[in-house]
Structures are given as C-alpha cells and as structure tokens.
Amino acid sequence: MSHFGRSGPPDIADTYSLLVLNITFRTTADDLFPLFDKYGKVVDIFIPKDRRTGESRGFAFVRYKYADEASKAVDRLDGRMVDGREITVQFAKYGPNAERIQKGRIIETSPRSKSSRSRSPSRRSRHRDDYKDKDYRRRSRSRSYDRNERDRYRGRDRDSRRRSRSRSASPDRKGRGRGRHDDERHSRSRSRSVDSRSPARHSPSPKRSPSPKRSISPQKSASPKKSPRRESPDNRSRDGKSPTPRSVSPRGRPDASRSPSPRNSNGDE
C-alpha cells in the first residue's frame, strides 16, 4: 500500500508529478505519503536513490491524480518543515523519459507507437554508459572526491550553481504566492565569459602531474616501513584460487582471443 516505486511506474499518463526538493536524506516515501495524501489523492510516490549506496538523493516525486490537488499540495507543502528541513514542492518539469511536462503532466510522449517498434540498426553498444554518466555527475554532488573532479575540470558552471543557491537562500520567496517566475528574471550578461582564456589556447594536457611525488605504480611499491605484518595471508591467497588476478595481463589478453599471432610469424599483416 505504501510501498511506492516498488512496482515501477503505475500510470503516469493521467497523473501529475510533483517534485519535492530539499528533503532530508532520511525521508522516505512513506513519510511523505501521509503528508501529500492529505491534500489530494496520491497515486504514487517515488524517491530516486543512489545505485551505489542506495541512499535517498534528497528529492522525491509525488504523483497526484488531479492537477488541482497537486497544485494545492504545492502551495501548501511548499516550504513545509519535514524532518527538520524545509522541503520544496513544485511541479515536475521533466518526465521520467526526459519528456516535457506541463504543470506536472506529460504533454509529450515517445512517438514509438508509429511504425514498427524495431530498433534502428545504428549503434548497439551503448546502454549503461548513458545512465552511468547521469549517475556519476549526480552523485558527485558532494562527499570528498567532488573536489578532485572539480580540479580536473578546472571548475565550470558548477561552482556558480553552488554559489547561486547561497545567495538565493531567501526564505522570503516561499510562503507567499507562487511567483517562481522571477527566477529566470536574472539577465544572462556573461555568456562567453565562462572560463575566460582563449578557446583555442586550451592546451589539452591530459598529463597534469604537478606532484611528481606520486609513484607511477602505487601498488607496486609497497610500504617498506609500514609493514606490521609482512603479508596479508587472508588477502593474498585464501583458498589459492587467484593468487594474482590483477597481474593477469597488463598489456593485453591472451592471443587466443584477439589475434592468433600478434607479433610473430605474421606475414599477412
């Protein structure tokens, strides 16, 4: 009954999706159900979770059966304190399939009902990379390695986003009429001044190792001093199955799979 999102999307064709942001990472659908259900008929509640840890991402989707109820919930629950945090309720802008949504309702659906459903013989190797990319940049919201990535990308508009919220931390906006259209009022003056510098001067230097201290092979050089136990018996060969699974073939796999003769007696190529 209260287990939403367990059976997948029930029917989003006749339902309005609401996006709930700013919720605690511990808030679950069951916690929002009684809250949203009080303002209307909630058909489904889904809270995206990280595939790695499985923790909530901090936002949830509440589907209402009617738009009027959803609108009321947005106006009433928007700014409500949940679990000690003020949540932000608003109509979803994007659909589960990246479709356009108006007022929480999907106005554009996948026109795959036309022609045969067969896929086009275009590319076939591309499926997990897609969702992975999305996940990666999503899960990089914080933690620790976030700084690492930032250094790598030299910072971009990501910093702006973070800072933006800081300056936009005006609780005044909430609780007073739903005038969220003022958000886009900000003029976009800086357009090309994204990173300054020359666009062509960018030196694609993938090798940016300012710290030559780091060894090339961290795993090769074990700590000569730090060795409480000469070796790790329980980590090396527990049952004698794979003594060295990592060094199986650093260069290539056995030629029995790729080329019968990569570099010898090869007069054909």
Contacts to DNA by CB under 7 A: 5, 7-9, 12, 17, 19, 21-25, 44, 46, 48, 55, 57-59, 61, 63, 85, 90, 92-96, 98, 101, 131, 134, 138, 141-144, 161-162, 164-166
Question: Which is closer to DNA, CB of 62 or CB of 254?
Answer: 62
- Cβ 122 to DNA shortest distance, Å: 21
**Least distance (Å) from DNA to the CB of residue 20?**
9
CB 91 within 8 A of CB 19: yes
Residue 263: CB minimum distance to DNA, A: 45
Nearer to DNA, 151 or 255 (CB): 151
Nearer to DNA, 72 or 86 (CB): 86
Q: CA 74, 87, 54 angle in degrees (round to 5)?
A: 115
Shortest Å, Cβ 217 to DNA:
27
**Cα 106 to Cα 67: distance, rounded to the nearest angstrom:** 12
CB of 230 to DNA, least distance (A): 28
Taking the least distance from each CB to DNA, the nearer of 10 and 175 is: 10
Q: How many helices (H) and strands (E) does the chain have?
A: 6, 8
Q: Which of 80, 97, 75, 82 is nearest to 13 (CA)?
A: 97
Kindly list the strands in the beta sheet with 88-91, ordered across the sheet, starting from the edge strand earlier in the chain: 42-46, 60-64, 16-21, 88-91
Asked if 11 and 28 count as a contact pair (C-beta separation under 8 A), the reply is no
Contact 34, 50 (CB under 8 A): no
Which residue's CB is nearer to DNA, number 103 or number 202?
103
Of the candidates 19, 59, 51, the residue with the CA atom closest to the CA atom of residue 131: 51
